[in-house]
A and B are shown apart, each in its own frame.
Chain A
Amino acid sequence: MKRRALFGGAAAVGAAAVGGAVLGSAAAPADAPRPHGTDTVPFHGRHQAGIATDAQAHQSLLAFDLVRGVDAEAVGRLLTLLTDDAERLTAGRAPLADIEPEMAAVPARLTVTFGFGPRLVRIVAGPTAVPAWLRPLPPYPTIDRLEERWNGGDLLVQVAAEDPTTVAHAVRMMVRDARAFATLRWRQDGFRHAAGTHRPGTTMRNLFGQIDGSANAVPGTEEFDRVVWRDGPEEWLVGGTTMVVRRIAMDLDTWDEVGRTAREFSVGRRLSDGAPLTGGTETDDVDLDAVDERGFTVIGPAAHVRRARTDDPTQRIFRRAYNYDGVDGTGLVFTAFQADLEHQYLPMQARLAELDALNAWTTPIGSAVFAIPGGIAPGEHVGQALFG
């Protein structure tokens, strides 16, 4: 009898939408705001969720290495399992064989996004299937201090939700089901402002206090679609994209030594509201040609936005950074999505490595590149089109 009490609910809860049962159980005053833990983001679609999705407060990036002996058939089984887990978890349903199904009851806008490193693509579809750009970024010796423990990976899983408990449980399910096939190479956890603390759509602040993400294309716009989504040529990348992960340490001690004016000058936007130093509001572009009364450009030659910015609209990227902060230091888990990595990302990164005022306080310590396959329909597993 005791056993039932302990283990009885697993299969049962798996099939049920338990959100109501769990969230509704505590006595709460009638006028309390509705908890948003049951909010969900659809897993299926033309694109994988978690990229155009309004960024959730908490994210874990997992990079797995396939163990020796794992072949295409085994990768297929791994992706079948992880897809099934993701489908269920993002809908607030327990994964199969989860003894703690209650942990799945609060999806809190959970998304699970998958990316492939070059080795996985080679194992599944052979060396000719690996796109030329799917390889580590070139070295940037002027800035890089890469540590092998934060580099590369065969399979990326991006798990994000508004609730850190939800993220932890989903991560656990992924790690558990990957165990027979892969080892965890690295894990990078990050956070943004908690849900409900800011008006929806507010750009996040990074741990330098800067408003970070202002110049991004807005999901849902034609510009965003052009910047981010691929329409091929590889069938498995239709509706997909490319992803760069850079772990960038930020030195708060030396940043402390800098005054507010110099801080703003290093980027080209105001700390208070993210507006360009050349005027306007956060949503305006910086005016790189504007000069002050002495004839100097308002946006300095080494200002981050001058170096990052391009007039060529086909060369933009979509940044989706999370803060990290802990015993390992402080920084950004910088992620960028762009349809064409070579055309959009590489020139910008090369310019920033050459000259960027922010480089005085920032140090890339990890780097990885992944191909993000297109979205799937129910009944398919992620990346199925790669399997021919």
Chain B
Amino acid sequence: MIGPLAYPTGMFSRVITLLFAALLVLSGCGDGAGDDSGQSAGIAAADVWVKATDEDMSAVFAVISNSADTDATVVGVATDLTDSAELHETADGTMRPVESFTVPAGESLILEPGGNHLMLMDLTEPIEPGQEVTLTLEFEDGTTFDLAATAKDFAGGAEDYDDHAGHDGHDHEDHEDH
């Protein structure tokens, strides 16, 4: 069993298998899964964080799991911080908006630097380290799932990598087309 992202090495696939086991435990503990508040059944989140910033853009990362036996489709994200929050993917070193993310039944969606993420734009206030940012994931079936992200001071390895490699690439701070 491998998560939705294919990893190149055997080591990572072992890690992902363990990860999935850990998430099952988490959701079993009622970690947000299947609330009575219109929250999406079977969805759980772990390791939710947002990059602290003084600029007007940031990104949110997490591991979203789906313990239900049907796929879940994330179609949007909302937050009080801005009206302009999007689902982004990264391909060939460039990020771009996507319509949806699928969280396959029994698997998980990994949002991580250099990969899929939730993009926050047009921020009007800094996100301070340690601040808690709340977001709501919107699913295709009309249900929602609330996330609490911890803001982390993050130098952003992936972005640096692109700069040094000379790509015109994924750099949240300099991103022009939002």
Contacts from A to B (Cβ < 8 Å): 1, 3-18, 20-21, 25, 74, 76-78, 80-81, 84, 96-97, 99, 176-177, 179-181
Per the bound structure, the CA–CA distance linking A177 and B151 in Å amounts to 10
| A181 cross-chain contacts in B, Cβ below 8 A | 129
Task: Verify B113–A9 contact, CB threshold 8 A.
Answer: no
Residues of A within 8 A of B157 (CB): 6-7, 99
5 nearest A-B residue pairs (beta carbon): A77-B130, A16-B19, A11-B112, A97-B152, A96-B49
* A16 and B18 within 8 A (CB): yes
Q: Are B15 and A7 in contact (CB under 8 A)?
A: no
B contact residues around A20 at 8 Å (CB): 18
Residue of A15, A25, A97, A179 near B19 (CB, 8 A) is A15
In the assembly, what is the distance between CA of A140 and CA of B8, in Å? 62
Residue pair B158, A77 in contact (C-beta under 8 Å) = no
Q: Which residues of B contact A (CB under 8 A)?
A: 3, 5, 7-9, 11-12, 14-16, 18-19, 21-23, 26, 46-47, 49, 51-52, 61-63, 90, 93, 110-115, 128-132, 150, 152-154, 157-158, 161-162
The answer on a CB contact under 8 Å between B15 and A18 is yes
Closest Cβ–Cβ distance, residue A73 to chain B (whole Å): 9
Residues in chain A near residue B8, CB distance under 8 A = 1, 4-5
CB distance from A277 to the nearest CB of B (A): 54
- CB <8 Å contact, B52 and A180: yes
Determine which residue in A8, A21, A80 has the highest number of CB atoms from chain B within 10 A of its CB, and name it: A8
A77 touches B18 (CB 8 A): no
Chain A proximity of B94: nearest CB distance (Å): 11
Contact of B47 among A1, A14, A76 (CB under 8 A): A14
Residue from the list B22, B61, B93, B129 in contact with A11, Cβ < 8 A: B61
Q: A97 vs B113: C-alpha distance in the bound complex, in angstroms?
A: 9
Majority DSSP secondary structure for residues of B touching A: mixed
Using A4-B114, A177-B129 as known contacts, say yes or no to A11 and B158 having CB atoms under 8 A apart. Answer: no
List residues of chain A with CB within 8 A of the CB of B15: 9, 12-13, 16, 18, 21
A20 — nearest CB in chain B belongs to which residue? B18
* A8 proximity list for chain B (CB < 8 A): 5, 7, 12, 112, 114-115
Q: In angstroms, how far is the closest chain B Cβ from the Cβ of A285?
A: 48
Shortest CB–CB separation between residue A79 and chain B, in angstroms? 8
Which residues from chain A contact B112 at a C-beta distance below 8 Å? 7-8, 10-12
Q: Are A12 and B153 in contact (CB under 8 A)?
A: no
Residues in A neighbouring B111, C-beta threshold 8 A: 11
B63 A4 Cβ-Cβ under 8 A: no
Determine if B129 and A96 form an interchain contact, defined as CB atoms under 8 angstroms apart: no
A247 to chain B, nearest CB (A): 30
On chain B, the residues within 8 Å of A180 by CB distance are 52, 128-129, 153
Q: Which residue of A lies closest to B112 (CB)?
A: A11
B113 is contacted by which of A10, A16, A18, A179 (Cβ under 8 Å)?
A: A10
Known A-B contacts A4-B5, A25-B11, A84-B150; the reply to A11 vs B18 at CB < 8 A is no
List residues of chain B with CB within 8 A of the CB of A77.
128-131
5 residue pairs of the A-B complex, CB under 8 angstroms, read A3-B161, A14-B63, A74-B130, A80-B132, A181-B129
In the complex with contacts A21-B14, A96-B49, A180-B153, A7-B5 CB distance below 8 A: no
**Residue pair A17, B22 in contact (C-beta under 8 Å):** yes
Contact B153–A179 (Cβ < 8 Å): yes
Chain B residues positioned under 8 Å from A4 (CB to CB): 5, 7-8, 114-115
| A5, A7, A16, A84: the one within 8 Å of B22 (CB) | A16
Whole-angstrom distance between the alpha carbons of A96 and B46 in the complex?
10
CA distance A13 to B19 in the complex (A): 7
B152-A3 in contact (CB<8A)? no
